[in-house]
Amino acid sequence: MVTLISVKPNEEIWSLLKENSDELIELKHIANSYKYKFFIEIFDLAHNRYVWSEAAKVRWNMRDVEADTTIKKVKRFLKKSIAQSLANQHSMVTLEKIDNWLASKEKNTNYWKDILKSKKYKLVFNTSHSHAKNALPVVYAANQLNIKTCTFLFSWDNLTSQGRVLPRYEKYFSWNSKIKEDFHNIYPHIDKNQVVVTGTPQFINHFNIKQQLTKEELYYKLGLKLEDKYFLYSSGMSNHMPYEPYVVERIADIIYKINPKLKLVVRTYAKDRLDVFDELKEKRKDIIIPKVAWEKKYQTPLIEDQEFFIALMKNCIAGINVASTISLELCMLNKPAINVGYNPPNKNIYPYNYTRFYSFDHYKPIVDSGAVQVAKDENEIEDLLREALINPSKLEKERKQLIADFFENIKWKDVINNFMQQLKSK
């Protein structure tokens, strides 16, 4: 029997979840107490300082900048002082124990303990350790009831750019051996056998013909003729990449300079604010900015968006983005991946900086692989766009090697069977 515990974005998604489960329980938000929120804030700061990755340093600096009043600066100083004193392995383990104790006192944890007690569950699987905060009380409750727990290390950047993985789980599933290694470096007190390399289901539909639009269907939705060709720009979070519509507009001008018949399609970041590209869409009718089919409540993707987005990548000349996971997807589909490695020209974006992303622990190996190309300025991006148009197979070998290295030859069936045997033996 499979029970799904989920938020309820809308009735359509809720019905789909019902169809794919034996039992469906709504995951409702119950606010944590103030003292627990304060503890988590300090713990997060301490973990950030303990990890001290390039992404962590940026987060630290951004919080400093945001403290723009005397009161905020004093509070920030005090919190940082506490966090810095706790930024060591011994304190991390101790804070984990305190966290577990405090969580056991929270209303939401005890609410789920009562529900889990009424069932004879053998396993609680949290599908994302970092993007499902509402689900954590379920895991805390399961741990207290000695129900086995596991989670999926959701993305390749989360370990070095997000908060601590809490609470503890019996098993952790990771994309590849590098992520497994990163996990053990940050959490040396957790047994290596608890982390299982499984690959990721995130890209399965990229190779499922049934889950993809045909070129004809895609072009109809975009309003293009079948002989048209386009570059695909994928945007990021506007609070990390200010003036990105301005960057996109200038790239559109470069593309027009290369060939007036070429098109630029912009895939806006689904989790970002709705209106970020509205002005550009109204101003530049030549730039195609289709609506992203997501349910904004709980930022939930719809099936039709998955089909549409894969088709966008498969049919483009090349993809352009700022250090995005989409670079991996483009390489996976053997498409040139071009990264914007410069700040918006003639704009002061301090304390932000587009170039910083390429030194982040998770992304630097992608750049070093030679499979993606980072443009240092607009002249270079023009050269790379021209090259992708004339010789799209350049770097094909590097792209294939990156994907082979990043996504190891993992047999899902063997992984699942082995995991189930381990569960049964305990």
Each residue's pLDDT tens digit, 365-384? 999 999 999 999 999 999 99
**Statement to judge: residues 197 and 298 lie in one domain:** no
**Statement to judge: residues 61 and 186 lie in one domain:** yes
**Statement to judge: residues 69 and 12 lie in one domain:** yes
**Statement to judge: residues 194 and 267 lie in one domain:** no
**Statement to judge: residues 254 and 176 lie in one domain:** no
C-alpha to C-alpha distance for 171 and 421, rounded to whole angstroms: 13
> By C-alpha distance, which of 390, 340, 382 is closest to 233?
340
Give Cα separations from 324 to 14, 54, 155, 332 (angstroms). Answer: 30, 16, 12, 14
Peptide bond into 201 cis (omega under 30): no
One-letter identity of residue 87: A
- Transcribe 391-426 into DSSP letters: -TTTTHHHHHHHHHHHS----HHHHHHHHHHHHHT-
Report the CATH number that the domain containing residue 377 is assigned in CATH: 3.40.50.2000
- For residue 132, what pLDDT is reported? 74
C-alpha to C-alpha distance for 176 and 123, rounded to whole angstroms: 23
Bridging pattern class, strands 300-301 and 294-295: antiparallel
Average pLDDT of the segment spanning 81-101: 97
**Statement to judge: residues 318 and 397 lie in one domain:** yes
**Statement to judge: residues 371 and 330 lie in one domain:** yes
Percentage with pLDDT > 90 across the chain: 78
Model pTM? 0.91
In this model, does residue 218 exceed pLDDT 70?
Answer: yes
**Statement to judge: residues 228 and 196 lie in one domain:** no
Q: Tokens at residue 243, please? A: 């003036």
Peptide bond into 365 cis (omega under 30): no
**Statement to judge: residues 338 and 384 lie in one domain:** yes
**Statement to judge: residues 101 and 83 lie in one domain:** yes
Q: Tokens at residue 370, please? A: 């030679």
- For residue 170, what pLDDT is reported? 95
| Domain encompassing residue 242 | 205-406
C-alpha to C-alpha distance for 256 and 284, rounded to whole angstroms: 12
The total number of structural domains in the chain stands at 2
- Transcribe 216-263 into DSSP letters: HHHHHHHT--TT--EEEEE---TTTSTTHHHHHHHHHHHHHHH-TT-E
**Statement to judge: residues 134 and 235 lie in one domain:** no
Strand partners, 263: 230
Each residue's pLDDT tens digit, 289-322? 999 988 888 778 888 888 999 999 999 999 999 9
Each residue's pLDDT tens digit, 161-211? 888 999 999 999 999 999 999 999 999 999 999 999 988 888 888 888 777
Phi, psi values for residue 166, rounded to 5°: -135, 145
- Transcribe 263-309 into DSSP letters: EEEEE--TTS-TTTTHHHHHH-TTEE-PPP-EETTTTEE-HHHHHHH
C-alpha to C-alpha distance for 390 and 372, rounded to whole angstroms: 17
Non-local (6+) Cβ contacts of 118 within 8 A are: none
Which band of pLDDT confidence, cut at 50, 70 and 90, is reported for residue 88?
A: very high
One-letter identity of residue 148: K
- Transcribe 164-181 into DSSP letters: ---S--SEEEESSHHHHH
C-alpha to C-alpha distance for 208 and 289, rounded to whole angstroms: 25
**Statement to judge: residues 135 and 162 lie in one domain:** yes
